[in-house]
Structure 1
Amino acid sequence: MAQPSSQASFTVRRQEPRLILPAKPTPSEVKQLSDLDDQEGLRFHMPFIAFFRNTNKKGGNETYPDPVKVIRDALAHALVYYYPLAGRLKEGDSRKLMVDCTGELGVLFIEAVADITLEHLGDAIQPPCPYLEHFLYDIPGSSGIIGCPLMLIQVTRLTCGGFIVATRVNHTITDALGIFYFLNTIGEIARGANEPSYRPVWKREILNARDPPRVTCVHREYDTTVGTGATMDTHADLIDKSFFFGFQEINCIRKHLPSHLQSSSTFEVLIACIWKCRTIATEHKPNEMLRVSYMVGAGGKRGIKLPPGYYGNAYAMPSAISKAELVCKNPLGYALELVRKIKTQMSEEYMRSVADYMVIKGRPHYSTAGHFIVADSSRVPFREIDFGWGKPVYAGVAKAAPNTSFCVRFKKSTGEDGILIQVSLPLQAMDRFEKELAKFTGERPMHVTGDKKHAIIISML
């Protein structure tokens, strides 16, 4: 239960969870994941959340559709196409993961009610949502990897007529784009479509290791000899905040760059700035070797041709390395030059080499020591998801991780559009981070969230 604060309390009541099965019989089979899917670093559950307004504007006593029933029914029909999501993982030889698709297990679904309005939630709709554990209840025993449900969905009605759709998915089965495909399919069916516009494609063998496997590239993201010093990565007392970057903030940051780097993408500039500020804030030893990585999709100009609708994990995260003191003491352009080089590493050969590395090395976890990772989900069109009540106020990744930040698209209440980046740091390091970041953004008050609390009461309906 969250700690009470000066804000008004609210109550969340939820029904017993139930399993939603595909609406029609589906194939009974075992489907292997790719050698990119089943690496150790993806063996966790990834949360997403979306907030919707009440768009029923008619007067009178007309009865309107219940979003819980509409979404629950559409979910069952969507699972006919995405039936592996209703299965369970099992592990074979050499830790190889596969999905046992029986059609008899299903996706976990929770119906809930909260006596609060969307307006009263205020900044809590921005990631990291401080009430995620209440809008996405962690059913005991449901968040494992082997033999557990691959997906959990909770739909929470609000007193204003709006609602929240929160979902958690086993990351080995899909990535952010894949979860968009699935949620979008639920929305299309909820609005009357007979089939999805994005036909799901399995074909995980496309991203399997070669025979025989052969590592042909340097994969610093898995190198345990880099960043071995004591860092905040093992710190247990972390806080999460989000930072908004609109047109003005981004322009202020660009003023710190030389002319030959002005052509850098906004994403590259923001990664470099966050990495530099974070490195200063976490007070690494001067000679400690650090890494920065960001996730690059497999299907670029030099990548692997993936069929439309492929919903497996389809990215790698090449790294750049540097001594901590060089990141801290050099101008921002130094960090940006390193960040820009990351994308040049990505190619079809790099992706093949990652898959081969997984098989040869036993599917290892990426190294976390001295490693900062950025995932850009701002290009995933979560804001287009529509269950029949219009587009969401916010939809996307729900929270950051200790060494990983997420970039998401966000529109402020003023109408200003921009990028929201989530950061997770110890309290004192977060204070230092904000001070360093203010030096680059012109000390304009940024929209920061993550530390507001309401008192919450949880009960069963």
Structure 2
Amino acid sequence: MTSSSLMFTVRRCQPELVPPAAPTPREVKLLSDIDDQEGMRFNSPVIFIYRHKPSMVEKDPLKVLRHALSRTLVYYYPLAGRIREGAGRKLMVDCTGEGVMFIEAEADVTLDQFGDALHPPFPCFQQLLYDVPGSTQIIDRPIRQIQVTRLKCGGFIVAMNWNHTLGDAAGLRQFMTAWAEMARGAHRPSIQPVWNREILMARDPPRITCNHLEYKQIFSPNTIKEEDTASLVHRSFFFRASDIAALRLLVPFHLRQCTTFDLIASCFWCCRTKALQLEADKEVRMMCVVNARSRFNINNSPLVGYYGNCFAYPAAVTTAGKLCGNPFGYAVELVRKLKAEVTEEYMHSVADLMVIKERCLFTTVRSCVISDLTRARLSEVNFGWGEGVYGGVAKGGAGTFPGSTYIVPYKNINGEETLMLPICLPSEDMKRFAKELDEMLGNQNYPTPSAHNFAMSTL
């Protein structure tokens, strides 16, 4: 059975609310002005996959995880509440203690039957995370929706909608680690969560002090074809160490010390722009997500325990003609400069901009966004069954914006460490993207594993 033809049946119990295991404060907590911007108001599906472990045969992962979740929510009690919207579209958490949505399920499939398809796009993903009515909304709904699916082989899959207004990848990792620690018998999380959203509230009066090209609004009567989400397909591309080395050889000597992130982000930007066949004079943007935790000096300590959103995505801007017509080093030079733009002042300026411009959305026209999830190490989350076979995003694209992607660490079926780039594009553009990437890497047979060629309609 091939991954593209894999079909299986999932039997689900009725969704139920899992509340904190002990009483928690009944209060209302404001989200920061970074948290509640328009670009964060979506649920991001993430997935964690675990193999059978003989020493755990007496333990039911569904019961273990459910019990541990209720204990974890005592510490992360805002997640058991509900998001409300106040004046000026300000978001807040009503800490009601109602709980998160939890679904127990069983599937008539083994991990081995997935073959090398244990990465985005996942076959039958809609079976692994049930679409509870209203689950795409974030206001007055459970903040977390989790489905734990037991497999025939004894392994299991944890799929979850992560409400982005409550936290970023670092926050997700912190919560998942705490949940896993409780599942392994800990009495409390090793890192105590802190709210501290006031750190990233707008100043009084708000003032924009930095240049924010990522929020420059472009109004065009001719929206680009990539926004036709009905024709989107999902596909993952993989970068081996040899591929990174090939990209590094394409840049001039003074850029050879650039990071792997710089290379992959630039490669994605160039190949995607060429695939979209944009007119040469059209402005294009690459926005790079930068974790700003280390940019703050609060009591001489980083934001330890902070699980809210603490990042910005500064934009590199050029024209399609310049990006595609110049050597690869041109794009790398633009991308590598972005990270230095994010300072504590930059973050305050973004928060102020959100208030002044009514929580506007980032620029989506001819734009793309890339996040580095390698440091989140989500596959290392261990509930007692060992590290995951996979841990990370369930697909490319964030919310309703298809131009976003992530760099995810991935170990293939042969045990080879690679970096994965899940993306979504219209079908014909995806074919051109693959061709452009082939040529850039100098590998006409790329990608070699059959799973790399597996494309699926919008998940």
User: How does the TM-score come out when normalised to structure 2?
Assistant: 0.93
Q: Per-residue deviation at 1:254?
A: 1.4
> Is this contact kept in 2: 1:228–1:369, CA < 8 A?
no
Which deviates more from structure 2 when the two are superposed, residues 295-304 or residues 412-421? 295-304
Which of residues 307, 324, 338 in structure 1 aligns to 2:303? Answer: 307
Q: How does 1:204-283 map to 2 (within 5 A)?
A: 204-225=197-218, 230-236=223-229, 237-283=231-277
Query: Partner letter of residue 451 of structure 1?
Result: F
Do the aligned partners of residues 135 and 172 (structure 1) sit closer, same or farther apart at CA in structure 2, a change above 3 Å counting? same
Q: How does 1:412-431 map to 2 (within 5 A)?
A: 412-431=412-431
For residue 174 of structure 2, what is the aligned residue in structure 1?
181
Which of residues 20, 29, 51 in structure 1 aligns to 2:18? Answer: 20
Alpha-carbon distance in structure 1 between the residues aligned to 2:290 and 2:453: 27
Task: Confirm or deny that 1:295 pairs with 2:327.
Answer: no
Which of residues 152, 161, 171 in structure 2 aligns to 1:168? Answer: 161
Task: Confirm or deny that 1:442 pairs with 2:442.
Answer: yes
Do the aligned partners of residues 361 and 191 (structure 1) sit closer, same or farther apart at CA in structure 2, a change above 3 Å counting? same
Which of residues 100, 105, 110 in structure 2 aligns to 1:107? Answer: 100
Q: Which runs of 5+ in 2 are unaligned?
A: none
For residue 329 of structure 2, what is the aligned residue in structure 1?
333
> Is this contact kept in 2: 1:386–1:392, CA < 8 A?
yes
For residue 123 of structure 1, what is the aligned residue in structure 2?
116
Alpha-carbon distance in structure 1 between the residues aligned to 2:108 and 2:228: 36
Do the aligned partners of residues 8 and 291 (structure 1) sit closer, same or farther apart at CA in structure 2, a change above 3 Å counting? closer
Q: Deviations over 1:6-25 (max 9, x none)?
A: 83532111111000000000
Relative contact order higher in (CA < 8 Å, ≥ 6 apart): 1
Do the aligned partners of residues 437 and 129 (structure 1) sit closer, same or farther apart at CA in structure 2, a change above 3 Å counting? same
Query: Partner letter of residue 426 of structure 2?
Result: P
Alpha-carbon distance in structure 2 between the residues aligned to 1:382 and 1:108: 21
Q: Per-residue deviation at 1:344?
A: 2.1
Q: Per-residue deviation at 1:225?
A: 2.9
Task: Confirm or deny that 1:451 pairs with 2:449.
Answer: no
Q: Deviations over 1:188-227 (max 9, x none)?
A: 1111100001211101000111111000111111111388
SS of the residue corresponding to residue 150 of structure 2 reads strand
Q: Which runs of 5+ in 1 are unaligned?
A: 455-461
For residue 457 of structure 1, what is the aligned residue in structure 2?
none
Q: Deviations over 1:32-74 (max 9, x none)?
A: 000000001111001110110001159xxxx611000000000
Do the aligned partners of residues 341 and 226 (structure 1) sit closer, same or farther apart at CA in structure 2, a change above 3 Å counting? farther
SS of the residue corresponding to residue 263 of structure 1 reads coil
Do the aligned partners of residues 36 and 5 (structure 1) sit closer, same or farther apart at CA in structure 2, a change above 3 Å counting? closer
For residue 405 of structure 1, what is the aligned residue in structure 2?
405
SS of the residue corresponding to residue 418 of structure 2 reads strand
Which of residues 21, 30, 44 in structure 1 aligns to 2:42? Answer: 44
Report sequence identity in percent.
Answer: 48
Q: Per-residue deviation at 1:345?
A: 1.2
> Is this contact kept in 1: 2:3–2:115, CA < 8 A?
no
Task: Confirm or deny that 1:140 pairs with 2:136.
Answer: no
Query: Partner letter of residue 47 of structure 2?
Result: I
Aligned length in residues: 446
Q: Per-residue deviation at 1:123?
A: 2.9
Alpha-carbon distance in structure 1 between the residues aligned to 2:162 and 2:296: 29
Which deviates more from structure 2 when the two are superposed, residues 352-361 or residues 49-58? 49-58
Which of residues 193, 197, 212 in structure 1 aligns to 2:186? Answer: 193
For residue 94 of structure 1, what is the aligned residue in structure 2?
88
User: How does the TM-score come out when normalised to structure 1?
Assistant: 0.93
Alpha-carbon distance in structure 1 between the residues aligned to 2:296 and 2:75: 30
Alpha-carbon distance in structure 2 between the residues aligned to 1:249 and 1:415: 17
Query: Partner letter of residue 5 of structure 2?
Result: Q
Do the aligned partners of residues 229 and 213 (structure 1) sit closer, same or farther apart at CA in structure 2, a change above 3 Å counting? same
Query: Partner letter of residue 292 of structure 1?
Result: M
Query: Partner letter of residue 80 of structure 2?
Result: A
Which of residues 53, 76, 87 in structure 1 aligns to 2:70? Answer: 76
Alpha-carbon distance in structure 2 between the residues aligned to 1:343 and 1:431: 31
Which of residues 79, 82, 102 in structure 2 aligns to 1:85? Answer: 79
SS of the residue corresponding to residue 300 of structure 1 reads helix
Q: Per-residue deviation at 1:232?
A: 3.0
> Is this contact kept in 1: 2:396–2:424, CA < 8 A?
yes
Q: Deviations over 1:314-348 (max 9, x none)?
A: 00000010010111111101111111111121111
Do the aligned partners of residues 144 and 302 (structure 1) sit closer, same or farther apart at CA in structure 2, a change above 3 Å counting? closer
Do the aligned partners of residues 85 and 267 (structure 1) sit closer, same or farther apart at CA in structure 2, a change above 3 Å counting? same
Superposition RMSD in Å:
1.9
> Is this contact kept in 2: 1:7–1:453, CA < 8 A?
no
Query: Partner letter of residue 249 of structure 1?
Result: D
SS of the residue corresponding to residue 112 of structure 1 reads strand
Which of residues 45, 53, 59 in structure 2 aligns to 1:55? Answer: 53
